[in-house]
Amino acid sequence: MHRALYLAWAEVLHVVRDRATLAQTLLVPVLQLLVLGNAATFAIRHTPILVVDYDRTPASRALIQGFAGSEHFSVQGIVGSLDVANEALLRGDTTMVVAIPDGFEESIVRQGAADLGIQVNAEKGTAAAIVQAYAARVVSAYGASWSRDRGMPARGAPRIEVSTRSWYNPTLSYPQYMVAGIVVSLVTIIGTLLTAQNIAREKELGTLEQLNVTPITRAEFIAGKLLPFWVLGLVELTLGLVVSRYVFDMPVLGSLWLLYAVAGVYLVVALAIGLFISTLVETQQQAMFVTFFIMMIYLLMSGLFTPVDSMPRWVQVASAFTPVRHFVEISRAILIKGAGLTAIARPFAILGVYGAVAMGLAIRQYRKTGA
């Protein structure tokens, strides 16, 4: 086994000597985390809106105040006609138009009910749905405030008071949610990409042949190759956690030891996939492209960006086969929810099985191509 350690040491020397690559491997993920944590947000703040006020009463002005007071909206202006607002919507100058009809106040006073028109630029999909939800919230808060001025409902009628609580992320911070998942994706990309590329490079340069004629066994070779990347993956995780903790204020509620234990198992899966890819390709360029292709599918299906619960049934089933999904789930559970071993036992066990299967397959495939 000491031969494997020699090989691992050689690999470490390679990595450390190539300063530029080392800087890239360590800095690029941090940069990515910083940009992603800030950019990958569906949080809606200061959405530009235009108001068409046909009513021009204290009630309509109070509603406009309600929108102006919300951090989710910024009222760009009040325009005279719907045509002007529509034009702005078409040009993309505004995202939402609130049309307050004539007789809005009168209707509220007389019937306790009124109509309100809202148009959302749905060009931006998800964002549009969220904007709509926030608008509904502003309007219902406005409606509720109206009654407080008018007194409480008739006594004796049954009444249910609903209170709401937000657990685990009470400030509804989006970056906090994202960074816990992004750290996982960084570990995955580094582990898989570097392994695939490194072995493909040995192939390209012809040095793999040289290693094959040395007395080193295949198991030793694989262990020696993968060990440094396994360690590098954990270093990357540490770096990511430090940035998440101190730049994004991500909470660390659960046990870090447990997270590292899971990461150790997960990296075996990631490295095995890299090894497997390297057996399929001839050049570094191919290794790069094949890895991207697989990563892209993994990341989009893992629930990193959009919740797995929203996916159609068959995609959910398919996504259970991507190891990234399980680690994303675990890391969010441990970091944000403070989950212990029992809560994450199932995904952890699945990762363990994947690790054994993926490594077994990769080694088998490697033997075939190596022979």
Interface of this chain with other proteins, residues 300 to 329, rule: CB under 8 A? 300-301, 305-307, 309-312, 315, 319, 329
Q: How far is the CB of 138 from other proteins (least distance, A)?
A: 10
Q: Which is nearer to other proteins, 4 or 60 (CB)?
A: 60
Shortest reach from residue 6's CB to other proteins, in Å: 26
- The reply to whether 71 sits near other proteins by the rule CB under 8 A is no
Residue 255, interface with other proteins (CB under 8 A)?
A: no
If the CB atoms of residues 87 and 217 are measured against other proteins, the closer one turns out to be 87
Separation CA 45–CA 29 (nearest Å):
27
By CB under 8 A, tell whether 62 contacts other proteins: no
Shortest distance in whole angstroms from residue 39 CB to other proteins: 5
Minimum CB separation of residue 257 from other proteins in Å reads 17
With 0-12 / 13-18 / 19 or more C-beta atoms within 10 angstroms meaning exposed / middle / buried, residue 222 is buried
Instruction: Identify the residue among 77, 80, 92, 360 touching other proteins (CB under 8 A).
Output: 92
278 in contact with other proteins (CB under 8 A) = no
Q: Does 68 engage in binding with other proteins (CB under 8 A)?
A: no
Q: How far is the CB of 355 from other proteins (least distance, A)?
A: 21
Report how many residues bind other proteins under the rule CB under 8 A. 119
Sequence-ordered list of residues with C-beta below 8 angstroms from that of 29, at least 6 positions apart, any chain = 186, 189, 190, 236, 239, 240
CB within 8 Å of 50: residues ≥ 6 apart: 75, 76, 77, 78, 79, 85, 88, 89, 94, 96, 97, 98
Find, among 197, 193, 194, 202, the residue nearest to 221 by Cα: 202
Distance, in Å, from the CA atom of 282 to the CA atom of 273, rounded to the nearest integer, reads 16
**In the complex, what is the shortest distance from the CB of residue 3 to other proteins, in angstroms, rounded to a whole number?**
28
Q: How far is the CB of 215 from other proteins (least distance, A)?
A: 31
344 and 290 Cβ atoms separated by less than 8 Å: no
User: Which residue, 251 or 264, is less far from other proteins as judged by CB?
Assistant: 251
Cβ distance to other proteins smaller for residue 2 or 313: 313
Residues 156-175 close enough to bind other proteins by CB under 8 A: 156-170, 172-174
Q: For 259-278, what is the HEC assignment?
A: HHHHHHHHHHHHHHHHHHHH
Residue 203, CA distances (Å) to 41, 126, 209, 287, 355 in order: 41, 45, 8, 11, 25
Binds other proteins by CB under 8 A, chosen from 22, 26, 75, 343: 343
- Least distance to other proteins from the beta carbon of 306, Å? 5
Site for other proteins in 2-61 (CB under 8 A): 20-21, 24, 28, 31-32, 35-36, 38-48
Cα–Cα distance measured from residue 363 to residue 367, given in angstroms and rounded to the nearest whole number: 6
Residues 134-153 that bind other proteins (CB under 8 A): 135-137, 139-140, 142-148, 152-153
Is 341 a binding residue for other proteins by CB under 8 A? The answer is no
Nearest approach, Cβ of residue 337 and other proteins (Å):
5
Q: Which is nearer to other proteins, 26 or 216 (CB)?
A: 26
Q: How far is CA 315 from CA 35, 303, 310, 349, in A?
A: 28, 11, 10, 21
* DSSP H or E segment with residue 124: none
Cβ neighbour number for residue 192 with a 10 Å cutoff? 28
Tell me, residue by residue from 96 to 135, as one string, x for binding to other proteins by CB under 8 A and - for no binding: ------------x---xxxxxxxxxxxxxxxxxxx-xx-x
241/322 with CB nearer other proteins: 322
215 near other proteins (CB under 8 A): no
**One-letter-per-residue 3-state SS of 305-330:** CCCHHHCCHHHHHHHCCCHHHHHHHH
Residue-wise burial string across 58-76, b where 16 or more C-beta atoms lie within 10 A, e elsewhere: ebbbebbebbeebebbebb
| Tokens describing residue 350 | 């699945």
